[in-house]
Amino acid sequence: MQCQAHFYNGQSSTQVSVNLFLNADDSLSVMRDDQRQTFALNEFELQAPIGQSSAKLFFNTGASCEFKDPEFFAHLDQLKHPGFNFTRLLRRMEKSWPYVVLALVVTVISVWVGVNYGLPSVAKSIAFSIPANTEQLLSDKTLATLDRLFFSESNIDENQKQKIRDGFLQIINHQETPDKYHLEFRYSEKMGANAFALPSGTIVITDDLIKLAEHENEIIAVLAHEVGHVHNRHALRQILQDSFVFVLLTVITGDVMSNASFASALPIFLTQAKFSRSFEHEADEFAKHYLQSQGLSPQYLADMLSRLDKHAGSDDKETSFLSTHPATPDRIKRLVQ
């Protein structure tokens, strides 16, 4: 068996046209005019072509050879790699559409499962293995910024504040690190009735929410929900999850999308990210457990949620488009179950 090839002696870039001969004793001869050089099977490496490229021979003398003839390659490949050969399998898969479709399906499913289940659980275990003071860095200056931008002093009278503080103390005394949590009262025209937790453990409640509540336990329920966010380290987990998605995106898209452009848009991407559905459910669940442990009904949180929902009105259909916040009826259903 023979085929045409280009030969390079490894000493210079001179290209020489040669003929390759496969001898009866399985050795390979490189023929040029009347010159002949013979190599045993173990005196060269055979590199399979990739796509339409040439097959290559790397001789142990430093010389190399390239040829196109697929039949010659297949024959030599069988001699060189009898039995199973991974590259051969790879090449067969790359040429057969059922394997390509299979790869596509496996990839899509893996990415979907990974992003929906894998990343959250990895992020969770990492978040819980990071020391508790890490989140302090995340929200050290946040409250000061919010104060400057949106808040003014609370107008709630001191008596009522003290009652709420007492209820809050009860909640945090059930926690491992009660020192972490602080309660702040604020008034905000723009935020209206609201409450939120900074990752560091500072929980802010607005005057309007206190006024909207029809029962003290409803406020306790809301505070328990917020403590649940901090306790379960949702902020850190969210950041970790977002960064994993970012890394995954970079690995898949590779050099086409420049990292620089993505990196610069990332902060907005991150800050826009709201707590995902499951985090809200987790915090609701936390509040439910707390209420039940105090002999209170989870209905208090459910009532407060539905009142907040009504209060907000339904004039803002738009926000639910991107928001990952679960619909209130669903949350209420889970609470009273």
Partner 1 sequence: MNSQETDYQARRIPLVFTGNAKEYFNIWIINILFTIVTLGVYYAWAKVRNHRYFYNHTYVDNSSFDYLANPKTLLKGWAIAVAVFLIYNLLNAYLPIATIPFAILFMFLLPWVVLKSLMFRAKNTAFRSIRFQFDKPYGEAWLAYVGIAILIPFTLGMIIPYMIYRQKQFYVDGHRYGTALFRYTGQSNRFYGIYLKTSLFAILIGSMIAMLMALASSSMFFDPNAMTSPSMINNAEPSPGLPPLMFSALFASIILFNLFLVSYLQAHIFNIVMNHAQLENMHFESTMNPWTMVWIYISNTFAIVVSLGLLVPWSRIRLARYRASCVTLIANSELDEFVAKQVKEQNALGEELGEIFDLDIGL
Residue 99 binds partner 1, judged by CB under 8 A: yes
Characterize 46-85 residue by residue with b for buried, 16 or more Cβ atoms within 10 angstroms of its Cβ, and e for exposed.
bbbeeeeebbbbebeeebbbbbebeebbeebbeebeeeee
| Shortest CB 24 distance to partner 1, Å | 28
Residue 247 binds partner 1, judged by CB under 8 A: no
Cβ 66 vs Cβ 55: under 8 Å: yes
| Shortest CB 127 distance to partner 1, Å | 11
Task: Give the nearer residue to partner 1 in terms of CB position, either 1 or 266.
Answer: 266
Task: Give the nearer residue to partner 1 in terms of CB position, either 150 or 246.
Answer: 150
The interface region with partner 1, picked from 23-31, 32-40, 63-71, 72-80 by CB under 8 A, is: 63-71
The interface region with partner 1, picked from 18-26, 105-113, 154-162, 170-178 by CB under 8 A, is: 105-113
Task: Identify the residue among 38, 145, 155, 292 touching partner 1 (CB under 8 A).
Answer: 145
Kindly provide the residue ranges of all beta strands, DSSP E only, lying in 190-323, ordered along the sequence: 195-197, 202-206
Task: Give the nearer residue to partner 1 in terms of CB position, either 13 or 337.
Answer: 13
303: CB partners within 8 A, 6+ apart: 214, 215, 218
| Shortest CB 52 distance to partner 1, Å | 6
| Shortest CB 22 distance to partner 1, Å | 22
Identity of the amino acid at 322: L
Task: Give the nearer residue to partner 1 in terms of CB position, either 88 or 274.
Answer: 274
CA 55 to chain centre: 40
Rounded Cα–Cα distance for residues 258 and 255 (Å)? 6
Task: Identify the residue among 204, 210, 213, 332 touching partner 1 (CB under 8 A).
Answer: 204
Residue 194 binds partner 1, judged by CB under 8 A: yes
Residues in a beta bridge with 281: none
221: CB partners within 8 A, 6+ apart: 287, 291, 296, 298, 300, 301, 304
DSSP letter at 277? H
Residue 51 binds partner 1, judged by CB under 8 A: yes
Cβ 241 vs Cβ 277: under 8 Å: no
Task: Give the nearer residue to partner 1 in terms of CB position, either 74 or 322.
Answer: 322
- Residue 78 in 3-state DSSP? helix
What residues between 213 and 232 interact with partner 1 by CB under 8 A? 222, 225-226, 229
Residue 331 binds partner 1, judged by CB under 8 A: no
What residues between 108 and 137 interact with partner 1 by CB under 8 A? 110, 130-131, 134
- When computed from its CA atoms, the radius of gyration of the chain, rounded to whole angstroms, is 34
- Cα dist. 26→1, 5, 22, 68, 100 in Å? 10, 18, 6, 20, 35
| Shortest CB 110 distance to partner 1, Å | 5
Task: Identify the residue among 127, 210, 235, 240 touching partner 1 (CB under 8 A).
Answer: 235
Cβ 185 vs Cβ 207: under 8 Å: yes
Residue 148 binds partner 1, judged by CB under 8 A: no
What residues between 254 and 283 interact with partner 1 by CB under 8 A? 254-258, 260-262, 264-265, 268-275, 279-280, 283
